[in-house]
Chains A and B, each alone.
Chain A
Amino acid sequence: MSTTLPNSAQTPETGTARVKRGMAEQLKGGVIMDVVTPEQAKIAEDAGAVAVMALERVPADIRKDGGVARMSDPDMIEGIIDAVSIPVMAKSRIGHFVEAQVLQSLGVDYIDESEVLTPADEVNHSDKWAFTTPFVCGATNLGEALRRIAEGAAMIRSKGEAGTGNVVEAVRHLRQIKNEIARLRGYDNNELYAAAKELRAPYELVKEVAELGKLPVVLFSAGGVATPADAALMRQLGAEGVFVGSGIFKSGDPAKRAAAIVKATTFYDDPKIIADASRNLGEAMVGINCDTLPEAERYANRGW
């Protein structure tokens, strides 16, 4: 090496906001898939997933089985980490910061503080600034998204209604977030203070969103995406990528459907490609109509 290239003497800094949020930027335009075994993780990776979410049961099964849903077995998460080279995410319960500590110690790349698991705290979410591992959190509206970002979330996803195979709630949440951002754009400085109060979110973040015209972190869609067209719909509505939970491995031909959803997510604005991707995928997951879902069984109501 020539002497004109000094190694930077300073200590490298880990866990910075830029490194955490920047990680999510690298996932944009991609599909993150729920998997419950190393074999499924490999299928997801081969299909072009940008990351996998390691969990014990997909949301559709959590719904069916009932009971308390918790963080997955570390053995199972490590098995998935060893099986693939793409990033691995895992879920902690809302407010269960010890589950999050465990996930961080296992070396997962992102923690989803998720309403799909049974909440551990009905008042507080985890303090996400306290971690090196970045967090993604669900939101149904802008105020909720900004409260999560204030707590340290480095990525936001719509909550949708996980495990239903019904995209209607994800559409509602994404439209809500986008509409509220658009409204902020039209406010003058005097109005932003009242807007912050109304949104129940920190003024500084509200001001930042008004200036940027977008969240300061990456926004994905989640909860109910089951087809290539669903994924493309969410992208056209402004999601920067999609999470697919039960939709893939609860369908007839997971490998084919996974690859098809990846294609439709990249070419979300090209109906011919989406049409081709949608051919002969076998059976989609059956799905649940959200208007027949009792309030108590709606995961989107969890978190605040």
Chain B
Amino acid sequence: MSNEAPVIGVLALQGDVREHLIALAAADAVARPVRRPEELAEVDGLVLPGGESTTISKLAVLFGVMEPLRARVRNGMPVYGTCAGMIMLADKILDPRSGQETIGGIDMIVRRNAFGRQNESFEAAVAIEGVEGGPVEGVFIRAPWVESVGARTEVLAEHDGHIVAVRQGNALATSFHPELTGDHRVHSLFVDMVRANRAAESL
């Protein structure tokens, strides 16, 4: 049972879903898109992709997946958010649009588009705690940063003095997009988290 590849969903309401599916498959997971509550119930872990956080939030509420998402994250389902996905995992957003809700799960305050508009989008090497083999290529697109974290939140990486990767228990988040590079080490770290959680649950 625990040797089987874990099933990891990618929330497919909007965003760069395809790239996450490819990265997860490359990291030896069975990857599938998730849009409905019944699809969410069938996965061992979930990726919240990059995209527009306002759009994803609205669609999640509208199609009844927001509450099931909150329930599963609260119950310890491993979850990984990139960029907009990081915003979705924040307990608090500094500058939410009206009606913008998050799933929560990480005790942090996130600032949207903190690194600027598209003209300021950039690439830079990022060293991540717990990812071996040197820094990863960080692709930051209208990226958020983490303004502050609570005591239970582990800071995994910074760029230019700003927090850009965090973990709290089974929830992982990055400001940048490893799915846009050919380097699947961050996805491997997440797949390992899902495997470990499944092993712990089957005890």
Q: Scoring A residues 95 to 129 as 1 if CB is less than 8 Å from chain B, else 0, what string do you get?
A: 00000000010011110000000000000000000
Taking CB atoms and an 8 Å cut-off, the chain B residues in 83-128 that contact chain A are 83-84, 95, 97-99, 112-113, 117-127
Interface residue? B172 (CB, 8 A) = no
Interface residue? B158 (CB, 8 A) = yes
Q: Which of A5, A14, A16, A266 contacts B127 (CB 8 A)?
A: A5
B123 x A50 contact (CB < 8 A)? no
Can you offer 5 A-B residue contacts whose CB atoms are under 8 A?
A4-B127, A6-B127, A8-B138, A27-B51, A263-B59
Rounded to whole Å, the gap between the CB of A157 and the closest CB of chain B is 17
Q: Report the bound CA distance from A7 to B97 in whole Å.
A: 31
Interface residue? B6 (CB, 8 A) = no
Q: Scoring A residues 259 to 277 as 1 if CB is less than 8 Å from chain B, else 0, what string do you get?
A: 0001100110000000000
A26 x B50 contact (CB < 8 A)? yes
A23 x B121 contact (CB < 8 A)? yes
A26 x B84 contact (CB < 8 A)? yes
Q: Scoring B residues 41 to 74 as 1 if CB is less than 8 Å from chain A, else 0, what string do you get?
A: 0000000001110110011001100000000000
Q: Which of B16, B62, B180 contacts A18 (CB 8 A)?
A: B180
Interface residue? B187 (CB, 8 A) = no
Q: Report the bound CA distance from A208 to B139 in whole Å.
A: 22
Q: Report the bound CA distance from A5 to B98 in whole Å.
A: 36
Closest to B113 in A: A85
Rounded to whole Å, the gap between the CB of A166 and the closest CB of chain B is 26
Write out the residue numbers on chain A whose beta carbons fall within 8 Å of the beta carbon of B51.
26-30, 50
Interface residue? B35 (CB, 8 A) = yes
Closest to A47 in B: B58
Number of interface residues, chain A, beta carbon within 8 A = 45
Closest to A16 in B: B123
* A contacts, CB < 8 Å to B: 1-2, 4-8, 10-16, 18-19, 22-23, 25-30, 45-46, 48-51, 85-87, 104, 107-110, 132-134, 262-263, 266-267
B98 x A46 contact (CB < 8 A)? yes
Write out the residue numbers on chain B whose beta carbons fall within 8 Å of the beta carbon of A108.
118
Number of interface residues, chain B, beta carbon within 8 A = 54
Rounded to whole Å, the gap between the CB of B186 and the closest CB of chain A is 15
Closest to B162 in A: A7
Q: Report the bound CA distance from A10 to B18 in whole Å.
A: 30
Interface hub of A8, A109, A262, A267 (most chain B Cβ within 10 A): A8
Interface residue? B201 (CB, 8 A) = no
Write out the residue numbers on chain B whose beta carbons fall within 8 Å of the beta carbon of A45.
54, 97
Q: Which of B120, B160, B161, B177 contacts A22 (CB 8 A)?
A: B177
Write out the residue numbers on chain B whose beta carbons fall within 8 Å of the beta carbon of A49.
55
B117 x A107 contact (CB < 8 A)? yes
Closest to A84 in B: B97
4 cross-chain pairs, A with B, having the tightest CB-CB distances, nearest first: A12-B122, A109-B118, A12-B124, A25-B16
Q: Report the bound CA distance from A30 to B135 in whole Å.
A: 32
Q: Report the bound CA distance from A4 to B124 in whole Å.
A: 17
Q: Which of B54, B97, B127 contacts A8 (CB 8 A)?
A: B127
Write out the residue numbers on chain A whose beta carbons fall within 8 Å of the beta carbon of B18.
28
Q: Report the bound CA distance from A62 to B18 in whole Å.
A: 36
Write out the residue numbers on chain B whose beta carbons fall within 8 Å of the beta carbon of A5.
127, 129, 155-158
Q: Which of A6, A26, A51, A133 contacts B119 (CB 8 A)?
A: A133
Known: A13-B124, A46-B99. A87 touches B158 (CB 8 A): no
Interface residue? B29 (CB, 8 A) = no
A29 x B14 contact (CB < 8 A)? yes
A86 x B124 contact (CB < 8 A)? no
A48 x B160 contact (CB < 8 A)? no
Interface residue? B79 (CB, 8 A) = no
Interface hub of A26, A132, A133 (most chain B Cβ within 10 A): A26
